[in-house]
């Protein structure tokens, strides 16, 4: 019988419901949903599949224990009580890569890290009957969360964050991460049958993520993961089967209308190169074009975009005119929807209309708003009708 684990998937704050839906769609049961993370139940295959298929998770952690600790002695004893020998082989390399503490009596990350490492060494010394560990084998880095004196301990299965899909080698000034871009698209009703335009395409992230969704392309197909080396926990066969599943599901011949514009020709070149690296360049039409030239003859399209919001003081003076133009060009489109993430708090004022919905989202440490201007739904097509939208 396969061993089951608790797996923790951290995500952007506010995107927990999107990630929960993704995990459920993969076929796994949700154990809990907290701020910035979703915990679910799965086996060794789930570790492979969640790393390869989840679009909105930042990483996947294998939960190994939780306990309460108000003192460093309690932290030491709680860590030592975990059966580390079930996860870390004798030659394994292990350390606490990250510790975060919220509303807890223990708050120094460096002290938490060193005390937990000592406790792990003590436990493994007894388990393996040795005094010294070569740490020459595979890596088992820990991530630890303390919240209200409750310690949650997970081993990172991912390595580089899942937003590093492997396609984005060139970035624009204010790039949005791949995982956040995917989560924002999944918050909209856009699907592959609808037009999608990004008039501030930058690195092309929104468009590339949308094209990958349309082609049913797994976001982790073109990268490696830390847990691929964990032969003691996950058979190599699991990874091969997951990659085969991802290949079988993919359809890059799907017909879409996805367009990206930017006023800067070099940025457009970079976006095109990123799309080529992702294997979706044939699905996206990139063009150097100013915002003032934004138009489309068809109805019921979508704009999903991350416009400039004046990170530098000298750029701020241009924002009222820029957002006035966004409002003007959007108004000229027939029955379209506009979804826009920006840190500019006066966006609605200069666009000349209030958003139907507005969601506060932290992009890193920056407070941003996801403004949602919803156009009408297209009429339902009868069987045999051609796609006009």
- The residues of the chain that CATH labels 3.30.2130.30 are 5-156
Fold annotation for 178-217+255-373: Rossmann fold (3.40.50)
Give yes or no for residue 175 having a pLDDT over 80: no
User: Can you list the pairs that 50-53 forms with residues at least 24 positions away whose Cβ atoms lie under 8 Å?
Assistant: 50/7, 50/9, 50/23, 50/26, 51/157, 51/158, 51/162, 51/220, 51/225, 51/227, 52/218, 52/219, 52/220, 52/221, 52/242, 52/243, 52/246, 53/22, 53/26, 53/218, 53/219, 53/220, 53/246
What is the per-residue pLDDT for 169? Answer: 79
Range name among 50-64, 116-130, 263-277, 310-324 with the lowest pLDDT average: 310-324
Structure tokens that stand for 285 in this block: 């039409």
Q: Using 50, 70 and 90 to split pLDDT, how confident is the model at 309?
A: confident
Q: How far apart are CA 198 and CA 258, in angstroms?
A: 8
Residue 260 has pLDDT above 70, yes or no: yes
Mean pLDDT of 96-109: 97
Average pLDDT rounded to a whole number, residues 290-317: 87
Measure the CA–CA gap between 67 and 253, rounded to whole angstroms.
Answer: 50
Q: Any idea what the Cα angle at residue 182 is, between residues 180 and 184, rounded to 5°?
A: 70
Q: What is the mean pLDDT of residues 90-98?
A: 98
Least confident of 153-167, 348-362, 372-386: 372-386
**How far apart are the C-alpha atoms of 346 and 366, rounded to whole Å?**
16
Strand locations in 302-373 (E)? 302-305, 337-342, 357-363, 366-373
387 confidence band (pLDDT: 50, 70, 90)? very low
Please give the Cα distance from 389 to 377 (Å, whole number).
10
Q: Which value, in Å, is the radius of gyration of the alpha carbons in the chain?
A: 23
Give the Cα separation of 221 and 23 in Å (integer).
17
Place of tokens 């379209």: 336
Q: What is the pLDDT of residue 356?
A: 97
pLDDT, average across residues 169-193: 88
What's the chain's average pLDDT? 94
Q: Which pLDDT does position 386 carry in this prediction?
A: 47
Would you call 142 helix, strand, or coil by DSSP?
strand
Rounded to an integer, what distance in angstroms lies between the CA atom of residue 179 and that of residue 185?
10
At residue 324, what are phi and psi to the nearest 5 degrees? -65, -40
CATH 3.40.50.150 domain range(s) in the chain? 178-217+255-373
User: What is the CATH number assigned to the segment(s) 5-156?
Assistant: 3.30.2130.30
Q: 100-109, 174-183, 335-344: lowest mean pLDDT where?
A: 174-183
């Amino acid at each position: 019988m396969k061993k089951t684990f608790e797996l923790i998937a951290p995500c952007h704050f506010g995107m927990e419901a999107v990630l929960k839906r993704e995990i459920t769609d993969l076929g796994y049961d949700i154990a809990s949903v907290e701020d910035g993370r979703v915990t679910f139940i799965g086996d060794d295959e789930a570790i492979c599949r969640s790393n390869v298929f989840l679009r909105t998770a930042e990483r996947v952690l294998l939960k190994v224990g939780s306990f309460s600790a108000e003192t460093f002695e309690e932290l030491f004893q709680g860590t030592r009580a975990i059966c580390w020998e079930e996860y870390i082989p004798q030659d394994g390399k292990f350390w606490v890569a990250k510790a975060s503490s919220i509303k807890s009596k223990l708050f120094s990350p460096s002290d938490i890290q060193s005390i937990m490492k000592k406790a792990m060494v003590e436990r493994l010394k007894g388990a393996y009957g040795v005094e010294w560990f070569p740490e020459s084998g595979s890596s088992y880095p820990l991530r630890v969360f303390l919240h209200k004196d409750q310690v949650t301990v997970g081993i990172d299965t991912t390595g580089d964050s899942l937003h590093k899909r492997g396609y984005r080698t060139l970035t624009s000034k204010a790039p949005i991460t791949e995982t956040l871009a995917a989560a924002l698209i999944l918050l909209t009703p856009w699907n592959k049958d609808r037009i999608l335009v990004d008039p501030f395409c930058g690195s092309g992230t929104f468009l590339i993520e949308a094209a990958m969704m349309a082609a049913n392309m797994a976001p982790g197909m073109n990268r490696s993961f830390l847990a691929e080396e964990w032969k003691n926990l996950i058979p190599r066969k699991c990874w091969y089967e997951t990659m085969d599943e991802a290949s079988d599901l993919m359809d890059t011949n799907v017909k879409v209308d996805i367009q990206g514009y930017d006023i800067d020709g070099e940025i457009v070149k970079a976006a095109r190169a990123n799309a080529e690296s992702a294997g979706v360049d044939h699905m996206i039409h990139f063009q150097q074009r100013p915002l003032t030239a934004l138009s489309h003859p068809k109805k019921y399209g979508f704009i999903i975009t991350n416009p400039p919001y004046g990170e530098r003081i000298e750029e701020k003076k241009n924002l009222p005119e820029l957002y006035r133009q966004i409002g003007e060009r959007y108004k000229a489109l027939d029955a379209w929807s506009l979804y826009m993430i920006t840190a500019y708090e006066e966006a609605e004022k200069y666009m000349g209309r209030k958003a139907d919905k507005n969601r506060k989202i932290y992009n890193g440490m920056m407070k941003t708003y996801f403004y949602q201007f919803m156009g009408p739904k297209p009429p339902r097509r009868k069987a045999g009708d051609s796609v006009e939208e």
